[in-house]
Structure 1
Amino acid sequence: MDQALISSEAGVLAVLTGICAFFFWLEKATRWRLFQYVPPLVFIYLTPVLLSNTGVLVQWMGVDREAPSSPAAGVVAMTPAGVIPTSSPAYDAIKAFALPMMLVLMLLNVDVGRAVRLVGRGVGVMLFGSVGVIVGAALGTLAVRQWLEPNAWKAYGALAGSWVGGTGNLAAVSEALDASGTEVGLAVLADTLLLLLWVPVMLASKRIAAPFARFARVDEDRVAAMDAAILADEREAPSATYQEYLYLLFAAFAVTAVSQFITQSITEFLTARKFVWPVHFSESTCRILLVTTIGIALSFTPLRRIVASRHLGMALVFLFMAQTGATANLAMAAEQAAPFLGGALICIATHGAFCLLGARLLRVDIHTAAIASAANIGGIATASCVAAHHKESLMPAAILLALLGYALGNYAGLMTAALCRMAM
């Protein structure tokens, strides 16, 4: 472990949770417009990167880290270690427990039947968009592979997980692929920068509603019926009780334990017969897929009605992303940033083309298509904002589509990673 300024497990956890809490407090207390364009997630990831890469930053600034210490002369050598370490048992604990628990808690709110009933063909457009992300990532990898490191396919897999689902899927897919902090950093960078470009496009698309309706041959009666169904289905969410929090924690810990037991049993079975995991399918991959599938299955139980599950899950998402930032290699990420962004741009453009194709084939209006795309690329918050701009009655539908994306994101991200690995 690095000889960092803060190296104890409790100290590291305090720093990571403090970073998460600080930037959300800062967003709420100051209401800076900066946070409308650069969400707290970016700072939550980057701050641990800087704290754990102090030595790299010092080297970039031209400070001689190899100079001998001379307290008498007032000169003290800079160490390559940072404020927090790049490896710690605390990070291992977060990956082992916080990540699978987060997945279970996030997936409990998914209501597939309600989403299909209320949004109808909008689900189809979202599925087209998801396929566009997968295909686009493979095309982007082909285009820029000569400038990327051999494991950059993991970053594209994590990015696809985010662009089909959300930040939680980015975290889950990166863990399933054993992606390094550097590779996750590239995914976070592309996710953030290209979202800033994509959201204005989704908002501005409202202005072409009439010509788009002619292009897509929209059935206005169907749109009116969908709006009426959404308004009739609106419901007020009750507050969660401490008993319900205990139910959630039990479910999350139980699924984590079951998934670990099954994957360990499979590993022991393979080892006893001198087999190994397939190239594209590791023990981590198996564990994440198990947690995802069990979490979706639990969404059909009464646990889905506990609204606090998503909030608790999101808290764990941000903690995981802070941990990932602390393990990143800043120098390597800087070298690959430009070509990786080029490939990601191809990916998001392909996603847009597939959304247009889906809207045309399914005869969906621009409002629903924009929300479906926003649910893919941005998640719940972005989809809600786009819905509020286009048509406020679609906000519940936007949330449902984004939750459906969470259910699909891990599968899509792993599929994308396999394709991108073949394209490298």
Structure 2
Amino acid sequence: MNNAIFEQDAVVLAFLLIILAAVLYTANSPLPFFRKFYQVVPPILLCYFLPGILNTAGVISGDNSAVYTVASQFLLPASLILLIMGVDLKEIWKLRKKAGLMFIAAALGIVIGGPLAVIIGKALLPGVIVGGEGEDASWRGLGTVAASWTGGSANMAAMYEVFKPSARLYSGMIALDVLISNIWLATLLYGVHKKKKINQWLRADDGDTAGLEQQFKNTNTVERRMATMPEMMLILAVGLGATGLAHLLIGKIVPWIKAVAPQLARFNLTNEFLWLIILTTTFGVLLSFTRARNLERIGSTTVGNVFLYILIASIGMKMNILNVFDTPGLIVIGFIWIAIHAVVIFLVARMFKISYFFLAVASEASVGGVPTASAVAAGFSPALVPVAVLLSVMGYAVGNYAGYICGMLMQWVC
């Protein structure tokens, strides 16, 4: 959106904070109207969706604003540090088997879903939905989306260099990626609100995650107190200071890898954002074994959640609902594709009696990446964010391979 009414970043940030304050305040209101309203509409969904409406209406511009850049480069890493250092990582480790199985199912749902979606699309509208020749061949663009939905934007960019779609086609793929992934994120966030009913259908025992959530709640309610001014500054120094250290190290690590071992680019190890997540996650883990973990008692997780919710709003701000009209044929493929992905992960979860938490976080770790997967996990409990981070980092590692295989399969069926 090039001609938004309000383009100054300070004004855009003000809009996002007003939305967050209004939603979270009314979500905790005792008034009957709000209590009934939020029984139907999850607060976190509104925090995500309302900025998207403002962007679509041209009130603000997600594309031209630096708010998301700041949120993803500074607030997200700091949030991860503050949230991870305050949890019991031994309990998190117990969840690894279910998380790993759902991660495999989520990636598989994308890899097999792409070619199946093409086959179904060709049957529904032969010669209309997919086609093209040379650099305009649909499979070239869809292959980049496959990499994004099994890894992230860095994987999508990598497969762009492999499949070489035309600029016009790739632009449409970016719109498809953003639109479908945003709708899927909204669906998963809404499902958090209905997790008990979903878990009943999945026949899932949610005792492990529920126990961790309860542990987190008990820590908050029993041991917590308001931080003093020096203590709050200490919390900010730990979160943002460690983030600054990560950026400093990235400036040394990435150029060194490019010079010494450029072949590691195939594993995305020359991607700065991947290293930002790896380093800040590592810092959070290390701090959890020190006295810094005691900062959770005075509100470090609250600060981390504030940063995370600003990120959620800034992600929503980049959504433009009208993009659906840019490539209507391939958008149909996208909806069929994500539906197949959904069928696969729900069937696997039901077969192995795995809770909705693992399903939702593993799916978003594939389709969205660290920021949105963390947002989904936070919808369950901030104590569970480390699981989302771990799965997302795994996605970055396999995204290029999964995207390439899926692209080749789609070329074969096109």
Q: Note the alpha carbon deviations across 1:103-127, whole angstroms, 9 max, x for none.
A: 422332236993543783x431122
Q: Show the counterpart of 1:169.
A: none
Shift of 1:317: 1.6
Instruction: Read off the aligned partner of 2:48 and give its amino acid letter.
Output: L
Which of 276, 279, 290 is 1:291 aligned to? 276
Unmatched tracts of structure 1, length 5 or more: 52-82, 162-172, 360-365, 387-397
Moved more, 228-237 or 289-298: 228-237
Contact 1:103–1:313 (CA<8 Å) still a contact in 2?
A: yes
CA–CA separation in structure 1 for the residues paired with 2:102 and 2:213: 24
Provide closer, same or farther for how the CA distance between residues 371 and 309 of structure 1 changes in structure 2, counting only shifts above 3 A: same
Q: Note the alpha carbon deviations across 1:132-164, whole angstroms, 9 max, x for none.
A: 111111111122247475444555555556xxx
Counterparts of 1:264-279 in structure 2 under 5 Å? Answer: 264=255, 266-267=257-258, 269=259, 278=265
Percent identity for Structure 1 against Structure 2? 9
Counterparts of 1:202-221 in structure 2 under 5 Å? Answer: 203-206=197-200
Provide closer, same or farther for how the CA distance between residues 181 and 105 of structure 1 changes in structure 2, counting only shifts above 3 A: farther
TM-score calculated relative to the size of structure 1: 0.63
Shift of 1:320: 3.8
Provide closer, same or farther for how the CA distance between residues 24 and 13 of structure 1 changes in structure 2, counting only shifts above 3 A: same
Q: Note the alpha carbon deviations across 1:233-272, whole angstroms, 9 max, x for none.
A: 94234545123213322222221233244334555x38xx
CA–CA separation in structure 1 for the residues paired with 2:309 and 2:213: 32
Q: Show the counterpart of 2:104.
A: 131
Which of 55, 79, 84 is 1:110 aligned to? 84
Counterparts of 1:306-321 in structure 2 under 5 Å? Answer: 306-318=300-312, 320-321=314-315
Provide closer, same or farther for how the CA distance between residues 373 and 322 of structure 1 changes in structure 2, counting only shifts above 3 A: closer
CA–CA separation in structure 2 for the residues paired with 1:143 and 1:377: 18
Contact 2:117–2:333 (CA<8 Å) still a contact in 1?
A: yes
In structure 1, the residue corresponding to 2:219 is in which secondary structure?
A: coil
CA–CA separation in structure 2 for the residues paired with 1:228 and 1:198: 16
CA–CA separation in structure 2 for the residues paired with 1:321 and 1:255: 22
Q: Show the counterpart of 2:168.
A: none
Contact 1:126–1:372 (CA<8 Å) still a contact in 2?
A: yes
Q: Show the counterpart of 1:235.
A: 219
Instruction: Read off the aligned partner of 1:126 and give its amino acid letter.
Output: A
CA–CA separation in structure 1 for the residues paired with 2:191 and 2:263: 43
Provide closer, same or farther for how the CA distance between residues 156 and 193 of structure 1 changes in structure 2, counting only shifts above 3 A: farther
Matched positions, count: 339
Instruction: Read off the aligned partner of 2:336 and give its amino acid letter.
Output: G
CA–CA separation in structure 2 for the residues paired with 1:384 and 1:232: 12
Instruction: Read off the aligned partner of 1:21 and give its amino acid letter.
Output: I
Which of 390, 397, 405 is 1:407 aligned to? 390
Shift of 1:192: 1.8
Provide closer, same or farther for how the CA distance between residues 265 and 280 of structure 1 changes in structure 2, counting only shifts above 3 A: closer
Does 2:241 align with 1:250?
Answer: yes
Contact 1:129–1:373 (CA<8 Å) still a contact in 2?
A: yes
Instruction: Read off the aligned partner of 1:99 and give its amino acid letter.
Output: S
Q: Show the counterpart of 1:259.
A: 250
Provide closer, same or farther for how the CA distance between residues 198 and 174 of structure 1 changes in structure 2, counting only shifts above 3 A: same
Instruction: Read off the aligned partner of 2:77 and give its amino acid letter.
Output: V
Instruction: Read off the aligned partner of 1:246 and give its amino acid letter.
Output: A
Contact 2:189–2:376 (CA<8 Å) still a contact in 1?
A: no
Q: Show the counterpart of 2:359.
A: 373
CA–CA separation in structure 1 for the residues paired with 2:63 and 2:217: 48
Provide closer, same or farther for how the CA distance between residues 201 and 339 of structure 1 changes in structure 2, counting only shifts above 3 A: farther
Does 2:74 align with 1:101?
Answer: yes
Shift of 1:421: 3.8
Provide closer, same or farther for how the CA distance between residues 4 and 383 of structure 1 changes in structure 2, counting only shifts above 3 A: closer
Which of 11, 15, 18 is 2:15 aligned to? 18
Larger Rg computed on CA atoms: 1
Which of 174, 198, 206 is 2:153 aligned to? 174
Contact 1:143–1:343 (CA<8 Å) still a contact in 2?
A: yes
Q: Show the counterpart of 1:40.
A: 47
Instruction: Read off the aligned partner of 2:42 and give its amino acid letter.
Output: Q
In structure 1, the residue corresponding to 2:326 is in which secondary structure?
A: helix
In structure 2, the residue corresponding to 1:28 is in which secondary structure?
A: helix
Q: Show the counterpart of 1:142.
A: 115
Q: Show the counterpart of 1:420.
A: 403
Contact 1:6–1:85 (CA<8 Å) still a contact in 2?
A: yes
Q: CA RMSD in A?
A: 4.5
Q: Note the alpha carbon deviations across 1:347-381, whole angstroms, 9 max, x for none.
A: 1222233334544xxxxxx7xx3443355457678
In structure 2, the residue corresponding to 1:325 is in which secondary structure?
A: coil
Q: Show the counterpart of 1:49.
A: 56
Q: Note the alpha carbon deviations across 1:30-87, whole angstroms, 9 max, x for none.
A: 7334632843212223421331xxxxxxxxxxxxxxxxxxxxxxxxxxxxxxx55675
Instruction: Read off the aligned partner of 1:49 and give its amino acid letter.
Output: T
Provide closer, same or farther for how the CA distance between residues 193 and 341 of structure 1 changes in structure 2, counting only shifts above 3 A: farther
Instruction: Read off the aligned partner of 1:130 and give its amino acid letter.
Output: F
Contact 1:183–1:333 (CA<8 Å) still a contact in 2?
A: no
Unmatched tracts of structure 2, length 5 or more: 27-32, 122-128, 131-137, 158-172, 365-372, 408-414
CA–CA separation in structure 2 for the residues paired with 1:35 and 1:177: 32
In structure 1, the residue corresponding to 2:318 is in which secondary structure?
A: helix
CA–CA separation in structure 2 for the residues paired with 1:375 and 1:342: 21
Shift of 1:409: 1.3
CA–CA separation in structure 1 for the residues paired with 2:304 and 2:264: 33
Which of 340, 344, 349 is 1:350 aligned to? 344
CA–CA separation in structure 1 for the residues paired with 2:100 and 2:379: 20
